[in-house]
Structure 1
């Protein structure tokens, strides 16, 4: 079988896709890369929530699969929204890389005053950790963000450690501890989405990693129950059976958090419902502050 694999054109997206192509090649499956531009790649001058949240990176690739232009697409799984179109499947979740955020800075850490990030979660967690910091909007691919750091527009920027590792980049800085800076659900995880065709699904499913799929499923179940997407600052992380999930106010001054041992998707949904109830005021405040209807 020969597959057409769609991807965004960024260096990170291409690196992730090449990893999938290598795994397919090991199985004797030929594949070609088809590069597709998404709205998230072309509209970088506004906050992500203003153009539809993380789903903007996925929508164009979904549409290309459904139109038959490609057979499958490679995604950072954290970009895949909870609601999915009919006709698609996700047969492969690859073994997870680091889920941690990485704080990159060239100056000494005690000299950091301005941090760049477009994520409401990262902003809230940074301000919770040190309210004296200023967090400024930062969009663009990894290379663009690093360039802006080195131009002195920011004292530090926050990136996913997994992305740096996949690109082979070594920067000054340190990973942020996941117990204090709880990652986005599915951060560090690559997923392969394809059309719901048994032959394609069966081929790609050979790449699936059972433990990573369960952890990712638990995180997504909590996310789906909590709601809020990238509009509400929330971190959800499962490692083995250990789940930690939190929702924060936009300024990081308040938060609700749960820590549980979770072994099933239904238990994860119960945790998500509990967190949604505890954090209802924070979720409403985030939507209202951003001018978004729930």
Structure 2
């Protein structure tokens, strides 16, 4: 008898939307499924910036443990939250077709603050650094919580605006009319993509889930995460990466960046290669940045982010 695939997820509205999306796709293929929601430490500890918690994968760790313990068969994640090195025994089973990759600024209806002093909220060092690089006279404050909580905090505070991933707000119909696309901001590696992980020895589940894989998204996110891993960013350093496949000429374009925490230093790289060269594109791009001054900057960032004893 075919088993029921137990889908592990965080219990936020967005995480549940993602889990239900995977559930529907598996049900449509004829598989039985069940959703099991758990709370992660990242959702519980909201009074400290993520980088101060000193853990990579804080949103994924609880589900990793549930999977290793045999409580769930798969976990569904926003791929940008997943550390580049998966725990032993856990494998990437599918990357779903990517949604909107952009960051957006949600504001309160007025945009005159862009040319004046202003306070912008984000919990992401990548967004903070890129914002300060473009708007050095602004102040950036920390913003934590799931997307619903963050939207509410924006309304409750006198900030000028807050930066969000467009995909997250679009998925749960929370994207307001008062936003602007930040097409100059390089997104997080794998932003807009959902990943499903499973136990490497669970052939039944891997066979089922692998049918949901989108090869174009898999290749592009692989390049971005390879760039991140080579820079040794974990999910804390201000690193952006975006790879895109161009169908008309079978090429991949890549745009990556590494910034100092205050946004004053910025290393950027743009490349276009034939599709046949995708496997090492992220690695070579990161190496170029490291060799041209990025190595010293990464060492400085690690020193600045070291958890205080």
Q: TM-score range by the shorter chain?
A: over 0.9
2:5 aligned counterpart, secondary structure: strand
Contact preservation (8 Å) 1:107, 1:155: no
Identify if the C-alpha distance between structure 1 residues 49 and 101 changes in structure 2 by more than 3 Å, giving closer, same or farther.
same
Task: List alignment gaps of at least 5 residues for structure 2.
Answer: 246-251
Write out aligned runs for 1:4-153 (5 A).
Answer: 4-111=6-113, 113-153=118-158
Counterpart CA distance in 2 for 1:150 and 1:292 is 31
Task: List alignment gaps of at least 5 residues for structure 1.
Answer: none
Aligned to 2:249: none
Among 266, 271, 280, the alignment partner of 1:266 is 280
Q: Deviations over 1:133-190 (max 9, x none)?
A: 110011011111111111134220111000011001231111210xx21000000000
Aligned to 1:215: 220
Displacement after TM superposition at 1:67 (Å): 0.7
Contact preservation (8 Å) 2:121, 2:141: yes
Counterpart CA distance in 1 for 2:67 and 2:237 is 29
Q: Deviations over 1:92-127 (max 9, x none)?
A: 100000111110011311136111111111000001
Higher mean displacement: 220-229 or 258-267: 258-267
Contact preservation (8 Å) 2:53, 2:307: no
Say yes or no: does 1:245 pair with 2:256: yes
Counterpart CA distance in 2 for 1:259 and 1:111 is 31
Q: Deviations over 1:232-286 (max 9, x none)?
A: 2110111111100110011111111111124322232122222223211221221
Counterpart CA distance in 1 for 2:189 and 2:8 is 23
Contact preservation (8 Å) 2:10, 2:16: yes
Equivalent pairs, count: 291
Q: Deviations over 1:164-218 (max 9, x none)?
A: 11001231111210xx210000000000011111111011000000000000111
Displacement after TM superposition at 1:54 (Å): 4.7
Say yes or no: does 1:175 pair with 2:186: no
1:268 aligned counterpart, secondary structure: helix
Runs of 4+ aligned residues of structure 1 deviating over 3 Å after TM superposition are none
2:235 aligned counterpart, secondary structure: helix
Contact preservation (8 Å) 2:57, 2:235: no
For normalisation by structure 1, the TM-score amounts to: 0.95
Contact preservation (8 Å) 2:81, 2:235: no
RMSD value, Cα: 1.4
